[in-house]
Amino acid sequence: MSLLPTAELHLHIEGTLEPELILALAERNGIELPYANLEDLRAQYQFTDLQSFLNLYYENMAVLQTEQDFADMTRAYLRRAAAAGVRHAEVMMDPQAHLSRGITLETCVNGVASALATSEEQFGVSTELIAAFLRDEPAEEALAVLENLLAMDAPIIGIGLDSAEVGNPPRDFVALYERAHAAGLKCIAHAGEEGPPEYIREALDLLKVARIDHGIRCLEDENLVERLVEDQTPLTVCPLSNVRLRTVDTLTDHPLPQMLERGLNVSVNSDDPAYFGGYMDENFNQLQGTFAFDANQLAQLARNSVRSAFITDARRRELL
Ligand code: ES4
Ligand code: ZN
């Protein structure tokens, strides 16, 4: 299958840390990992739900110590994304996951941002950076980190909300999002991945987000679906992620075809590709193998990603 030119809108840069790079950075930084070798590490990648993945995801971040580490991880993603047909990437990072380990905001932000800055020239992939906040940590902490990002004039275009969803509803983060809106930042949030449709409503009504990350559980609420169709709210769906985190049983059971059919503005994204079995191209390949989408459906998915991106109309025209 030929590669579709796409925008990747739902991507956690820490989720692109491949096992080989984890071991190389551990070696470079003299960090002891609880795994003897690559095979041992790879054996950990069997998840039962979101939390079981997050445990390993946060643990593996221990190897990220210097700006160079963050830049190397980011550059590896951009190279791979370009090979997967991605032409524009909006990259989330989790500053709190690094601050809590004693890594400064400057180290993690500048490291990621330095690789993003050369991406268009190096890989033909335009980029934006989004700071995501951990919903299973106190909202006051998130707000303090946002203030620090603003004070250092961090090159972020927006904010997101991620980590363990159930029990950590959007309504707890109203002050954070009010601050972000006032600062002119774009606002997105994970909702309806493991959490109920009500969380999608809260993200829209209380946080006033422009996009929903995942959103697949909207299908349980007919009124919500109608609203999302009417407003053409972008839903950044991650098929391989949903399978690996057992949100759906198998790819065959994934609601993406149904979502497309209903006229929802859905795009395909890789989420944490080093953990979930594939980058953008592999997501499309497996969707194609499972659902045999026709050219129109494939083009619609690619077009949805471009029209939902935080880019200028000029760049949008280049990509459409
Ligand atoms: C995440 Cl798949 C997913 N869901 C929520 N938070 C996350 N952080 C990284 N990947
Ligand atoms: Zn995600």
Which SS3 state, helix, strand or coil, does residue 220 take? helix
Average pLDDT over residues 300-317: 98
Nearest CA to ligand 1 atom 5: 163
For residues 256-267, average pLDDT: 98
Binding site as annotated, residues for substrate? 272
241 ligand 1 Cβ < 6 A: yes
What is the pairing mode between strands 126-134 and 234-237?
unpaired
Rounded to whole angstroms, the Cα distance separating 185 from 193 reads 23
The residue contributing the CA closest to ligand 1 atom 6 is 163
Active site residue 8: no
Q: What is the mean pLDDT of residues 45-49?
A: 98
Nearest to 278 by CA among 1, 14, 9, 18: 18
Mean pLDDT of the chain: 98
DSSP β-bridge partners for residue 129: 91
Distance of CA 136 to the CA centre of its chain: 17
Q: What is the pTM of this model?
A: 0.98
Among the listed residues 8, 128, 193, 194, the single catalytic one is 193
Give nearest CA residue, ligand 1 atom 4.
163
The first and second tokens of residue 221, run together, are 């609420």
ipTM of the complex: 0.98
CATH T-level assignment (fold) for domain 6-308: TIM Barrel (3.20.20)
**pLDDT beyond 80 at 264:** yes
CA dist 153 and 147 (Å) reads 10
Separation of CA 11 and ligand 2 centre (Å): 6
Angle at 64 between CA 128 and CA 165, to 5 degrees: 65
**What are the tens digits of pLDDT across the range 67-76?**
999 999 999 9
